[in-house]
Structure 1
Amino acid sequence: MEEPLEPQAESYIEKRNHLLEGIDPDTIRKAWFTLSHLLLDEGAKVIDMGCDDGAMTYAMAVLNPKASFTGLDKSKKQINKAKEKYKLFNLEFKIGDASSEIFEPESLDAVINSYVLHEIYSSSRYNERIVSDTLTKQFSMLKKGGMMFIRDYARPPPGEFVLMEMPDKPGTGKTLTELSEADLLLWYSEHARPRQDPGCGGFFLEELPERVPRTRLFRLPYKWAYEFIMRKNDRMRWETELPMEYTFFTMREFRKELRALGARVQYSGPYWDEDIINEQFETSFRLYSDDGAPLGHPPTCYIAVATKMAERKSLNIEERRPSHTDSGHLKISAVRDKDTGKIMDIVSRDISISEVIPYHIDEEGRLKIYLHDGVARSISNAVPRSGTNIDGRLWSGHMLEPVSVDGEAMAVMEALDIKNSVKFARDYLGLKPTQNAVLEHGPDYYPAPDYIDEKIQTFYLRVQSLKKTITPKSFAGHSGKFQARGEIRELDAQQVLNAITVGLIPSARLEMQILSLFQHVGIKAETWSDKVLNLKISKLKDKADLLEITQLFGESDTRFKDIKGTAGQIRAIHSTFVEEGQTRGVVSGLSAENVDFIVQDDKTINTAVVLPLAEGLKGEIHAGFTIQHLPVPQRHEGNGTTISAPSYNIPPNVTNQRELKKFLADKLGVAPNTIIKLGESYFSHIGMTPQRIYPFAVTAPPETLNAPGTKFIPFYQYMLLQRLISREPHFFIAIARAYRYFHEDIRFDSARQVKAIIKERFSKMQPDWSLPLSYERVHVAERSRTPKPVTIEEAPDAKQKKQALDAAAKTAAAKTAKASAYVPFHAQNKEQAAKIVHEREEWDKELQRDKELAQAKAQEATKKQPPPKPKIDMDLTGEFASEIEDFLDALEKVDYLELRPEKW
């Protein structure tokens, strides 16, 4: 019987987890990864080509119950088994060949080719033309605006040879499963391509003298080295996979084939699965170019997302040539730090930008947001001036962003009230607010506080659901001549977060804006990117003085003074970008526009940000930071104090991920295996510069770090310092991603157990980036770690009585909230502000009495017995309560952290 997915967010997750029981976790993650590249509309019809046993198709249908999925495979046996085993209301299976025209023209919303194109290539006696014909047929079945997802292997550059160094380890026998990897390579070189005529298979391989003791060195074509690497660990399926040839098109050829079909190649690039690299690459081989230069790890797969476009619609935007016309949109000036004498260039433009995210919560409790899809961002395809594209990821030049409006539209509003919000929604959004909804001021961001004079404000507005797309009314900061205008469309907020996680959307600011909105509406965001922290317990000597730090933010700071001239650090570029589309089967230019952007002459376009993580003696996780003074926050707020992480401009000789980790390890004086990638790279400010940020964490003991000035505070305290750390967006996103990716380690940090205390005092004021749910573990972890609540009668002191009262009140409030209507954010905060002040006064009096009594008892006990030996103690209740009081006192000394009902 077909099983429907129940409504309501929590029951949906429970039902989903139940339906996925028994499915291999790798299959579930593969399904999630695939769907994360496809931002599907409700009701979309999706075909999974070459679905094999149907498990991944089933998992996708479970993960996205609002779309319909069809699994297609030419094996009648496999399809019949899938039909019998997997039954859902939005799932079906069909017998058919992925290379044939099975479906009606323009009848599909998405086609998925996950590791199937190389099978078509191999079964056609290694004929590339058959693959091209298959793509043509599949595109004919897509609707206009339909998407194709390709996950397969891309061929290394033809004709290149590499040196492959492998450990000289003996095998355990003479069968294929028992051979050493070096001997297996020798065997493979003689038996590859068995479908060729007898005696015509195999490939060139020569063994050279060893360069390092106890290793073996081989020279072979890069293509065949890659073919061997990607299959060497699957010994059980070796003979089945032997006829398969994984690579046929290079990455460039993939893009060329798709564009020839009239496709916008929205996103493409290599992908490195870190688990595969750590388990199968790191200690198994090393690759060198033919002249002996070290090469990075080959990608574990290739990804392409293509959208079918109509004739003369924008397919690609790229820089064509320098422009010699007049330019004047960017202004470069300089400031001097009077304390250090350092001169810094700053760039500004003649507009201010505000970003708006309309949202609503559907009947199933899912957060839906409205974003501008297809925004022309030509600078993403600027010709590199210095530095290379380290991760190889490319975009068409069309991005997904919040709705941008001129900041003046917000500035002229006398108040963010209902009347003005309705008028704003009509004039700039084309949406209708819900009853009594008002514009809500969310987090503000400095895209590059060290050199771009821009502060981007975020606003949210709760609106009525509208399923159809909307023509944008506002284009602030966007191109005026390009044909691409995009559309405003409703999207599932969690799906957008997933798309950012896998790298489809290179915007960290949008990630933070969505996470903040999740927290505001009280819905949990999920994370599917768990990473393991290998931290060694350390005695943290460089702990920060929070009072001193918060005082720095509260003081007036005028160290940066404007000066005449510039330092020559920033160069404005005026260049012509061309928008291409297909006309009568040929890709040609549609429009051209002169675009201004900047580069830094003394730096490459690539910068790495590294977040130090450490574990204290009591098991609490700390994150490290440095204090900087930057000119842009000073211009806007009168104080340039900024919390940031160690950052390093990546030199031009670093060209791959492996070299990047080694470069950072050398800079920090640690081992490369302590450098952990924090998600995919992103553009710092795609409206003004092609600069890319690569976020990492380092897990080496703090005493080994070569990072002068780095201080540590417990991780939970960053949640309270959101207003302070948001000045430096790259540190902000590193903290947020670490919190999401390492949530199993950080969530149950003993210090986090007092989060309820802080939430009561600062409710709704500080976004905590939404504690993420893990689909496979969180419900088990919560049962095992959540202590039994203490009743009011059992509470031994005033503090615990207060906690028990708060818990009871919270439970009652939660029950009431389920039946209550939506209350505007302003109203919520105004009511809360008065309540918090009163509760704080009464609670502080009781806590102070308990604290004095505890100190007296502790002093008496110290006189009677020697101090105990230090040990790892996970019970931080008493010590942490005192720490919280000191911390809150310090925060209250910062003027702009006072409760403000109109802001977050």
Structure 2
Amino acid sequence: MARSPSPADVYASQHRGSADDYASYFAGMDASMQQKVALTTAHFPTRGRVADMGSGSGRGTYDLACLYQGLELVGVDINPVTVDMAGQTWRRPNLRFVAGDIADPVFPPESLDGVLDSSVLHHVTSFNDFSLARLETCLDNQVRALRTGGVIIIRDFVIPDGPEHVWLDLPETDGAAEGEVPALSTAALFERFARDFRCGVHRTGPVPHTRHASPHPGHARYRLTLRAANEFILRKDYREHWDVELLEEYTYFSQGQFEEAFRSRGLRILSSMPIRNPWILANRYEGRFHLSDLEGRPLPFPPTNYLIVGEKVPPGAGVVLREEHGEPLTTPRFLSLSTWRHEASGQLYELVERPGRTLDVLPWFQEDGQVFVLAKKGFPRPIVNACADRPHLGGATLSGYITEPLAAITQVGEAPARALARILHERAGLGPERLLEVGEPVRYFTSPGGVNERVSAYLVRVAPASGPEKNAALPAPDYGPFTSAGSVRELDARQVLRACHVGGMVDARLELNIHRLLRRLGASPGPWIGAPLVFPIQAEAPPRAPDALTPARRAPFSVHEEGATGYLEPRTGTFSERAADGRVLASVPREYLVPREAGRDTAVALPVVRTAEGYWVGLEHRELPAVQHFTGSAGLVVVPAWRLPRAFTHPGEVPALIAERLREEFGLTARRAWELGGSYHTTPGVTPELVWPFAVEVEASTAREARLRWLPLSALLEGLDTVADAHLLVVAWRLAHALGVLG
């Protein structure tokens, strides 16, 4: 008689082996599941218990459980039949499924390290008569179940920001005017939608709208609310189960309402960002409709999704850092401003610097084939929220607490070995017995056009924690003026990179150090999950520049004593740390730097040409006083970059500016630009500058005469150790990752 397989046998049959095996498994997931996993696991702990609310079939919960053996995943679904099927289908020692209404108290208080609500909370409102009160109760119960330090992540839809009423122009000629839903034109489908859709705004009647003649041939024009337009846009391509789609109200909170809901419950927001899925934009939005305000000005596409991440802090702790008052600073006390003159051209450059040397330290270890790093999580960086009158592109907001390496400013004269040991002990609780190996540093400039700073970055191999420390975050010593300096936590190196691909992590220096670590270990970074890049092959290759990575050694700058140019504006701001109830816990002055007239954001654009032999990239040689100050020579290899005007409000506006600047400054003709992963900060201790990276396909025929140095991407990757511009490092790593040439 055959023996039935034991649970252990079943578990063993589904175990996938090493971390690289799991990376291959991850690559086989569909894009939406990859994004879900990346956005969530970069913020969840690697050990403890996480609840996946609304787990459905259980596949997504299983995918999460596969990544971490030390993390218990509990899938929760209201349907007991679904729960039973999920439990029979997906089995792992660290995975279980339970039946329950996610809006009810499924778990005891303080029993979870993470809660995931992925595309599920709109069901709570939709199937409870669009009750926001039921949603509020749901959030209360879920936050109550979190331990202090636990994380709740919501990935759902969001009421878009913008004008209340809009014009929506929809094609009439792409289908029938009447009949079954699959055959209807988009305009006819909208009229069916307007007749039958119900939501919290209009529970009993049709969607208010008026029809007008459209200025776009073959289209009908509708005047309606932006929220209603978005509800239709989000579901217009899901016709097979149209009647079911109409039962659900996708949008229930605005971004501001989500953030208030988190902060009022004692959650510190680690990330709050609208998501625009590049595949959906390219295949379902572009060319499929026109959206404009009532003056006829085109509006950006609404977000396809929204992500908010909150960390539960102790009662009375700070949840947000805000600038209460800011003003120009004539005589900085902490920062110093200098002006440099280029002797040949007479051009003046302004630089700001803070005292001491900047060190980045990334402790790391390997366990069960996976690579983990220790990083500061929830570290207060109030300057990222400076100058609210110059908002960042894309609608992303931060609480002011971010995840970053163990960064520190050291004084000149302190030996590096001593500084490293001190920083690791003081800021991560790592004693000398856990320090196994200190790697050679690399040095790069964070924002060399305006910040006189060069970072020395060290990789430090440490022994993994053991005993009680193994499952707990280590509170960082309170070495600043705010109530907390966050915590030091283990993070999965690959998942951090994936979060950077889709905007879920904003510190570029953490990303750069992880790429360098994985390269040193010969470990694959896993799949790219940002926007897919597709470059057609061009017949002509750009001319290769032998000196592409070796700029001329010159020292053309001298200190200019006659005053500043006025381009940079040192400012001082008073930043308050507020608790969930609005109480001010600390009020701290900070000096920082912004351009006087331009916006806070920067665009960097790496020109790319693909030939039958491979990919080519175009680099710029610049002479900058910050580089001369540190190295004695001003030459630096950089990626083309430009400050963006204050008038820019959306990333979709940037490619046109990039194309114009590449044409005017370098003689290049741009074909297409792709966002190369999420935006990032390089110097959040000095400036609120947020950088938007792009890869730009250019006409090879225009590259020959362009004022750029061209070389194969493979040659750039081989020479990355000589690159000292942080922005070029970011886009080079990301481009290679996106094209699958990192291994």
TM-score by length of 1: 0.75
Offset of 1:74 from its aligned partner? 1.2
Question: What are the equivalent positions in structure 2 for 1:87-106 lying under 5 Å apart?
Answer: 87-106=91-110
Per the alignment, residue 732 of structure 1 pairs with 729
Q: Measure how far apart 1:72 and its partner are.
A: 1.1
Opposite residue 332 of structure 1, the aligned amino acid is L
Alignment match, 1:784: none
Q: 2:72 aligns with which of 44, 59, 68?
A: 68
Deviation at 1:521, TM superposition (A): 3.0
2:244 to 240, 264, 267: 240
Normalising to structure 2: TM-score of the pair? Answer: 0.91
In the alignment, residue 492 of structure 2 is paired with which amino acid? D
Q: Which is worse superposed, 696-705 or 64-73? A: 696-705
Which residue does the alignment assign to 2:646? 652
Task: Say which SS state the counterpart of residue 660 (structure 1) adopts.
Answer: helix
Return the offset for 1:470: 3.6
Q: Structure 1 residue 80: deviation in Å?
A: 2.0
Q: Which amino acid aligns with 1:269?
A: M
Q: Deviations over 1:498-520 (max 9, x none)?
A: 33333232111211111112222
Residue in 1 that maps onto 2:429: 430
Tell me whether 1:399 sits opposite 2:393 in the alignment: no
**Deviation of residue 739 (structure 1)?**
0.5
Provide the residue aligned with 1:498 in structure 2.
Answer: 498
2:364 partner SS: strand
Shift, 1:491, TM fit: 2.4
**Which of 371, 377, 383 is equivalent to 2:381?**
377
**Residues 6 and 87 from structure 1, CA distance in 2 versus in 1: closer, same or farther, beyond 3 angstroms?**
closer
Residues 803-882 of structure 1 correspond to what in structure 2 (within 5 A)?
Answer: none
Question: 1:566 is matched by which residue type in structure 2?
Answer: A
CA deviation digits over 1:370-415, x for unaligned, max 9?
A: 21222110011112354x3211111111112222333338x433x8
Conserved? CA contact 1:57–1:69, under 8 Å: yes
Letter in 2 for 1:452: V
- Cα shift at 1:420: 9.1
1:742 maps onto 2:739 in alignment: yes
SS at match of 2:729: helix
- For the residue of structure 1 that corresponds to 2:122, the secondary structure is helix
Q: Does 1:677 align with 2:675?
A: yes
* 1:71-123 CA distance string (max 9 Å, x none): 11111222222122111111111111111112111111111111111111011
**Which residue of the partner structure matches residue 511 of structure 2?**
511
Deviations 1:767-818 (A, max 9, x none): xxxx24xxxxxxxxxxxxxxxxxxxxxxxxxxxxxxxxxxxxxxxxxxxxxx
Give the superposed CA RMSD.
2.9
Distance 1:474 1:205, change over 3 A: closer
Task: Find the partner of 1:278 among 279, 282, 306.
Answer: 282
Rg comparison, structure with higher value? 1
- In 2, Cα distance between equivalents of 1:194 and 1:381: 35
Identify the residue that residue 587 of structure 2 maps to in structure 1.
Answer: 592
Does residue 1:604 correspond to 2:599, yes or no?
yes
AA paired with 1:221? Answer: T
Q: Is the 8 A contact 1:100 1:134 kept in 2?
A: yes
Q: Which amino acid aligns with 1:302?
A: Y
> What SS is found at the alignment partner of 2:240?
helix
State the alpha-carbon separation in 2 of the partners of residues 154 and 17 from structure 1: 32
Say if 1:159 and 1:508 are closer, same or farther in 2 by CA, change over 3 A.
Answer: closer
Counterparts of 2:127 and 2:550 in 1: how far apart (Å)? 69
Question: Structure 1 residues 138, 332: closer, same or farther in 2, change over 3 A?
Answer: same
Q: CA deviation at 1:708?
A: 4.4
2:387 maps to 1:343 = no
- Letter matched to residue 211 of structure 2: E
Cα drift, residue 288 of structure 1: 0.1
What are the residue-to-residue correspondences of 1:257-268 with 2, within 5 Å? Answer: 257-268=261-272
Structure with the higher strand share, 1 or 2: 2
Match of 2:451 in 1: 452
Q: Give the distance between the partners of 2:454 and 2:508, measured in 1 at CA.
A: 15
**Distance in 1 (alpha carbons) for counterparts of 2:671 and 2:169:** 20
Task: Confirm or deny: 8 A CA contact 1:506 1:682 kept in the other structure.
Answer: yes
Give the AA of the match of 1:658.
G
Residues 533 and 699, structure 1, Cα contact 8 Å, conserved in 2: no
Residue 122 of structure 1 pairs with residue 146 of structure 2 = no
Aligned residue number for residue 356 of structure 1 = 361
Cα distance in 2 between the residues matched to 1:447 and 1:641: 15
Measure the CA separation in 1 of the matches of 2:433 and 2:408. 21
Task: Determine which structure has the larger helix proportion and give its number.
Answer: 1
Change (3 A) 1:211 1:668: farther
CA 1:680–1:6 in structure 2 vs 1: closer, same or farther (change >3 Å)?
farther
8 Å CA contact 1:676–1:697 kept in 2: the answer is yes
Larger CA deviation: 283-292 vs 325-334: 325-334
Closer/same/farther in 2, CA of residues 552 and 147 from structure 1, 3 Å limit: closer
Alpha-carbon distance in 2 for matches of 1:448, 1:624: 20
Q: CA deviation at 1:180?
A: 0.9
Name the CA shift for 1:139/1:504 in 2 (closer, same or farther; >3 Å). Answer: same
Q: Which residue of 2 is the match for residue 226 of structure 1?
A: 230
Counterpart residue number, 1:902: none
* Partner of residue 182, structure 1: 187
Unaligned runs of 5+ in 1: 748-770, 773-904
Mapped to 1, the partners of 2:71 and 2:398 lie a distance apart of: 26
| Distance change >3 Å, CA 222–CA 323, structure 1 → 2 | closer
AA in 2 matched with 1:187: R
How far apart, CA to CA, are the structure 2 residues paired with 1:12 and 1:607? Answer: 36
In 1, Cα distance between equivalents of 2:434 and 2:244: 62
Is 1:630 the counterpart of 2:624? The answer is yes
Residues 712-746 of structure 1 deviation map (CA, whole Å, 9 limit, x = unaligned): 111111123324422x2112211111001111xxx
1:9 is displaced (CA, Å) by 10
C-alpha distance in structure 2 between counterparts of 1:716 and 1:359, whole Å: 27
Partner in structure 2 of residue 579 of structure 1:
577
Find the residue that maps to 1:319 and give its secondary structure.
strand
Residues in 1 aligned to 2:671 and 2:78: alpha-carbon distance in whole angstroms: 44
Point out the more displaced range, 246-255 or 209-218.
Answer: 209-218
Q: What SS class does the counterpart of residue 674 from structure 1 fall into?
A: strand
Compared CA separation, residues 55 and 361, structure 1 to 2 (3 A): closer
C-alpha distance in 2 between matches for 1:569 and 1:488: 38
CA distance, structure 2, for counterparts of residue 24 and residue 678 of structure 1 = 21
2:81 counterpart of 1:77:
yes
Cα distance in 2 for residues equivalent to 1:139 and 1:515:
34
Match of residue 895 from structure 1 = none
| Alignment of structure 1 residues 168-179 onto 2, 5 Å | 168-172=172-176, 174-179=179-184
Indicate the residue corresponding to 1:818 in structure 2.
none
In structure 2, relative to structure 1, the CA distance for the partners of 1:436 and 1:179 (3 Å cut) is closer
1:747-766 correspondence runs (5 A): 747=741
Partner in structure 2 of residue 193 of structure 1: 198
Counterpart position of 1:532 = 533
How many residues end up aligned between the 2 structures? 724
- Distance of 2:216 and 2:729 partners within structure 1: 44
Secondary structure at 2:81's aligned position in 1? helix
Percentage of matched positions with identical amino acids: 24
Residue of structure 1 equivalent to 2:3: none
What is the match of residue 555 of structure 2? 557
Check if 1:521 corresponds to 2:521: yes
Contact 2:267 2:319 in 1 (8 A): yes
Conserved 8 A contact 2:459-2:513: no
SS at match of 1:84: helix
Give the C-alpha shift of residue 433 in structure 1: 4.6
CA distance in 2, matches of 1:516, 1:313: 35
After superposition, what is the alpha-carbon deviation per residue over 1:792-848, rounded to whole angstroms, capped at 9, x for unaligned?
A: xxxxxxxxxxxxxxxxxxxxxxxxxxxxxxxxxxxxxxxxxxxxxxxxxxxxxxxxx
Instruction: Say whether the 8 Å CA contact 2:83–2:97 is kept in structure 1.
Output: yes
CA shift for structure 1 position 168: 3.0
Post-superposition offset of 1:236? 1.1
CA-to-aligned-CA distance 1:306-338 (integer Å, 9 cap, x gap): 111221111110100137998511111111111
Q: Which amino acid aligns with 1:663?
A: L
Deviation at 1:434, TM superposition (A): 6.0
Q: Greater relative contact order (Cα 8 A, min sep 6): structure 1 or 2?
A: 2
Structure 1 residue 426 displacement after superposition? 4.6
